[in-house]
Structure 1
Amino acid sequence: MDLQEIIDDIYLALQPRLGEGKVADYIPQLAHVDPRKFGMAIIDLDGRIYKAGDCDEPFSIQSVSKVFTLTLALGKHGETTWNRVGREPSGSAFNSIVQLEHESGKPRNPFINAGAIAVSDLVLAGHTPKEAIAEIVRFVQYLADDPSITIDPEVARSETATGFRNFALANFMKSFGRLEHPVEHVLGVYFHQCALAMTCTQLARSGLFLAANGKNPLTGHTVVSSQRARRINALMLTCGHYDGSGDFAYHVGLPGKSGVGGGILAVAPGRASVAVWSPGLNDNGNSLIGSLALEMLANRTGWSVFGAPAA
């Protein structure tokens, strides 16, 4: 199987459709991104890299960062993390407040906004907001083996200035006693983690430990236990695309986490880590062309966790 040929074919096939979907203009800084951008990178367990398009152009990873903060929170708090946030698909929009009211302020899973805010509160434990933000950046730099990864300050400012729904979610959780730190501190961490700027290549490298039973195969460092890697992958598969998670599992069949910046990190366990970026979103807030690219990749490679397609 020639992965470079496959990724080149996908890029060529999707060229006529670039620009489809709606850029996330409710975050003003993201509204300026060219909707025709497309990048894709695959890194296998031997470190071979396969690239196409704008794969080395940094973009705002937004909610893809929730995979990394969840990993940090689990490292700090272990299974007690689940006292604060659930593990079930939401079936609601990523920024919905409705379920929080029904469930006494406990978010349904760590990948919707409310859940990620709760996880930010856990990461903040024992730290100032600046220290927690620095820890998140260092962790992602460590995973990617790339000290150049940074937060885009303009995106962070843009999110802070317009994040009224997230302020409402955080205050609602605080009213139920679900957050231990001041709302402003928790959201400072949350907005900055979402403003991480990465390329597809860096993002694919960062997710490689999830494809290799918790160990970075290129450095030999154990990031998490194999059991924890499996569980994070399970959450990505069931909850990683908000209320479009079932559709993504149906069409792609890989653990994945999307972000409204148009990025998706996908994991082919035992095989590779994949990152794709296309800013136009579908109705569920997931990259429209990125999802199509991953479906084409899964079909060509047989990497779906549910089995290879019929010959």
Structure 2
Amino acid sequence: MAIVMEEHELRQLVQSCRFAARNGKIPDYIPALKKADPGLFGCVVCNGEKTITAGEVEEPFTLQSVSKIISLALALMDKGEEAVFQKVGMEPSGDPFYTLQALEEGRPSRPMNPMINAGALAVTSLLAGNSTEEKLGRLLAFVHELTENTSINICEETAQSELEHADLNLALCHYMKSHGVVHGNMEELLEVYIKQCALRVTCRDLAKIGSVIGRNGNDPATGRSIIPPRIARIVKTFMVTCGMYNASGEFAIKAGIPTKSGISGALVSALPDGTGIGIVSPPLDEKGNSAGGVKLLETLAERRKLSIF
């Protein structure tokens, strides 16, 4: 299962997969994300003992939906499984990540899983804290701990751009409030959610997060527990079943690596041996996943026999 690879091999692989990014499209419904460089392509593979890189790995980008696995872990640590899964289900939806229809059709009317937007909003509502600032501060401190990078912060430009185009997410909040899934001020909930998505990271940070999750929540350098093992297992399971939106089943067959994507073109993978992979390539395929990044992971999984199945 371990990736045994030299840096020059990874560089060759990244170069060979750059063509796939040309089949994708930069998302245009959030102005700040529309500014992304379509040629950006970086990958970091970290197993704790060795880190190899290829492409533009120092260029920052925002977590977007990759943040959903982080807030899920923190909410489970804060409130426990019973409280979290009273508000959100555990099943893949087969619907786009922004779906409202699934909420309308569900009985009870709760999000089907924590990886769609409605589910992530419900999870964010469970984070401990008495104010927006306190919740964001705890989330940011958790990200700093996972990555050992205290320079990570919120990209205010991206957050403001998303807040100005958040009508659908606000509608999801109010719909869930009307059914008792979430409570309180919906504008404040939306602000926490959007700012968690706007945390600015690099591929190195993603690879470190993937390594911690892959190691059952343990820091790869010190062995210290950051996430309880059961919670890390839950997170990995959702990465497999729901992490690539309504392309999760296809990706599980083609790659079989626990992975979560974000609309910034970010991808984080967590292998059972503790290897973490962080990728960025902004052009997205029709399902909202990084076109070049998906090709890279599928190729890497095939060549190195990395599927967990």
Cα displacement (A) at 1:55: 1.1
- Is the CA contact 2:20–2:291 (under 8 Å) kept in the aligned structure 1? no
Is 1:114 the counterpart of 2:118? The answer is yes
Mapped partners of 1:302, 1:179: distance in 2: 42
Cα displacement (A) at 1:226: 2.1
Aligned to 2:168: 165
- Is the CA contact 1:45–1:212 (under 8 Å) kept in the aligned structure 2? no
Aligned to 1:309: none
Aligned to 2:300, what secondary structure does the other structure show?
Answer: helix
- Is the CA contact 2:236–2:258 (under 8 Å) kept in the aligned structure 1? yes
Mapped partners of 2:76, 2:275: distance in 1: 23
Mapped partners of 1:263, 1:131: distance in 2: 26
Residue of structure 2 aligned with 1:52, choices 51, 54, 75: 54
Aligned to 2:40: 37
- Is the CA contact 1:6–1:297 (under 8 Å) kept in the aligned structure 2? no
Mapped partners of 1:282, 1:217: distance in 2: 32
Is 1:290 the counterpart of 2:293? The answer is yes
One-letter amino acid of the counterpart of residue 64, structure 2: Q
Mapped partners of 2:285, 2:18: distance in 1: 17
Cα displacement (A) at 1:102: 1.5
Mapped partners of 2:122, 2:9: distance in 1: 39
- Is the CA contact 2:214–2:274 (under 8 Å) kept in the aligned structure 1? yes
Cα displacement (A) at 1:136: 0.9
Aligned to 1:183: 186
Residue of structure 2 aligned with 1:193, choices 187, 192, 196: 196
Aligned to 2:257: 254
Cα displacement (A) at 1:122: 0.3
Cα displacement (A) at 1:16: 3.6
One-letter amino acid of the counterpart of residue 235, structure 1: F
Mapped partners of 1:224, 1:29: distance in 2: 32
One-letter amino acid of the counterpart of residue 113, structure 2: N
Give 5+ residue unaligned stretches, structure 1. 307-311
Mapped partners of 1:3, 1:179: distance in 2: 48
Cα displacement (A) at 1:9: 1.9
One-letter amino acid of the counterpart of residue 123, structure 2: V
Is 1:143 the counterpart of 2:149? The answer is no
Cα displacement (A) at 1:140: 0.4
Aligned to 1:50, what secondary structure does the other structure show?
Answer: strand
One-letter amino acid of the counterpart of residue 73, structure 1: A
- Is the CA contact 1:255–1:268 (under 8 Å) kept in the aligned structure 2? yes
Is 1:263 the counterpart of 2:275? The answer is no
Aligned to 2:105: 102
Aligned to 2:237: 234
Give 5+ residue unaligned stretches, structure 2. none
Aligned to 2:63: 61
Residue of structure 1 aligned with 2:80, choices 78, 81, 84: 78
Cα displacement (A) at 1:207: 2.3
Aligned to 1:274, what secondary structure does the other structure show?
Answer: strand
Describe the superposition over 1:186-209 as per-residue Cα deviations: whole angstroms up to 9, x where unpaired: 101000000011100111112221
Is 1:156 the counterpart of 2:154? The answer is no
Mapped partners of 2:14, 2:243: distance in 1: 24
One-letter amino acid of the counterpart of residue 95, structure 1: Y
TM-score, normalized by length of structure 1?
0.95
Mapped partners of 2:19, 2:227: distance in 1: 41
Mapped partners of 1:271, 1:246: distance in 2: 23
Aligned to 2:281: 278
**Identity of matched residues, %:** 38
After TM superposition, the structure 1 stretch with the greater mean CA deviation from structure 2, 23-32 or 7-16, is: 7-16
Cα displacement (A) at 1:116: 0.4
Cα displacement (A) at 1:79: 1.1
Aligned to 2:149, what secondary structure does the other structure show?
Answer: coil
- Is the CA contact 1:36–1:278 (under 8 Å) kept in the aligned structure 2? yes
- Is the CA contact 1:105–1:172 (under 8 Å) kept in the aligned structure 2? no
Aligned residues: 304
- Is the CA contact 1:213–1:270 (under 8 Å) kept in the aligned structure 2? no
- Is the CA contact 1:45–1:270 (under 8 Å) kept in the aligned structure 2? no
Is 1:22 the counterpart of 2:25? The answer is yes
Aligned to 1:122, what secondary structure does the other structure show?
Answer: coil
Residues 271 and 5 (structure 1 numbering): CA distance in 2 closer, same or farther, change over 3 Å?
A: farther
Describe the superposition over 1:249-291 as per-residue Cα deviations: whole angstroms up to 9, x where unpaired: 1111011100000001011111400011110111111111100
